[in-house]
Amino acid sequence: MTGQSAVLRALRKPRGTAPQGFGKTKRRDRWAAYPIVQGVLFTICATYLLVSGVIWEPLFHTGYEADGYLSPLFSPLILFPNMPSWLSPGLLILWIPIGFRATCYYYRKAYYRFYFADPPGCAVGEPTIHRRFALENAFPFILQNLHRYAMYLAFIPLFFLWIDVIRAFGNWDAAGVAHPRIGLGGVLFLVNTTLLTGYSLSCHSLRHVIGGRIDCFSCTRARRIRHTLWERLTDLNRNHMWWAWTSLVTVTLADLYVRLLVTGVLTDPAIRF
C-alpha cells in the first residue's frame, strides 16, 4: 500500500453501526422531523439575514436605523470615507457572527444532518458516497477548528449590542439630550441581546477555556473561582441548542422590526417619560 492511499484510508469515515444505505434505520420514531423542521427554519433565517445584512442595502439604500434603533446586523456601525456604494456596512461586522455560528459545534451537527445527511440522524444510514469524504480532516471543513477564535471575536459585536440596548430605551434629540422611553423595539433588542449573550456564554469552547486542562480544581483560590465559573457555564451549556435557535430567530425579528420602522410599515409603540 502506498503512503498516499494509507492516508486516504485513514481519512475515510468509519462505517458506524447504522444500517448501510441512505435513510436505512431500525428506529421507529419520526427521526426525520427534526432535521426537516430545523433545516427549513435555518434556511429561512440565514437567507433573510444574508440578504438584509449584505445585499439589500447596496441595492436599495433603504436604511438600517430608525427611531434610534440600529439593526443588530449593522452594529457597531462601521462607515469610512469614500465607501463604495456596493459595500454594505453590515458585511464589515457580520463576518464575525457568521463565522461564530457556522463553526459552532451544535450548528455543525445540525447542518451536517439537514444539508448533507451526514448522517441524517443518530443510527440512520447515510449515502455511501460519504465514505469518500474527509470532512473536517481536510479543506474547507478543517476551518471549523477556528471556532475558538471566532468565539473570542464574537464578544466584540455583543458588547456593542448591549450599548444599543441602553440607547434603545432613550430617544436622543438633535441636541444630544436623551428622552427615556420603553418601546417595543427596546424590549425586542433587550430580549435579542440577552439570548445572544446566553448563546455566546453557553459555547462549548468557552466552557473549555474556563474549566479545561486543569487537573485540580480545589488547589488554589484562582482555580476554585474557575471551577465556580465553569459550573455556571455548564448550566448554560446544557441548553446550548435552545440558545442557538431562539437567538437566531430573535436577531432575525429584530432586524425585520427595524426594517419595518424604516419603511413606515410600523410605528414603534412606546411609553415616553
154 or 254, CB closer to ligand FES? 154
Residue spans of beta strands (DSSP E) within 57-167 = 65-66, 69-70
106 or 114, CB closer to ligand FES? 106
**DSSP H or E run through 261:** helix 240-262
How far apart (Å, rounded) are the C-alpha atoms in residues 8 and 11?
5
Residue 83 to residues 58, 80, 88: CA-CA distances in angstroms?
11, 6, 9
CB burial of residue 150 (10 Å; 0-12, 13-18, 19+): buried
13 or 148, CB closer to ligand FES? 148
Cell of 210: 474556563
In whole angstroms, the minimum distance from the beta carbon of 171 to ligand FES comes to 34
How far apart (Å, rounded) are the C-alpha atoms in residues 125 and 36?
16
How far apart (Å, rounded) are the C-alpha atoms in residues 184 and 268?
6
248 or 258, CB closer to ligand FES? 248
Q: Which residues bind ligand FES (CB under 6 A)?
A: 104-106, 147, 151, 203-205, 240
**DSSP H or E run through 270:** strand 270-272
69 or 106, CB closer to ligand FES? 106
Residue type at 262? V
171 or 205, CB closer to ligand FES? 205
Place of cell 434629540: 173
In whole angstroms, the minimum distance from the beta carbon of 234 to ligand FES comes to 13
In whole angstroms, the minimum distance from the beta carbon of 199 to ligand FES comes to 6
In whole angstroms, the minimum distance from the beta carbon of 68 to ligand FES comes to 30
In whole angstroms, the minimum distance from the beta carbon of 145 to ligand FES comes to 12
In whole angstroms, the minimum distance from the beta carbon of 205 to ligand FES comes to 5
CB burial of residue 184 (10 Å; 0-12, 13-18, 19+): middle
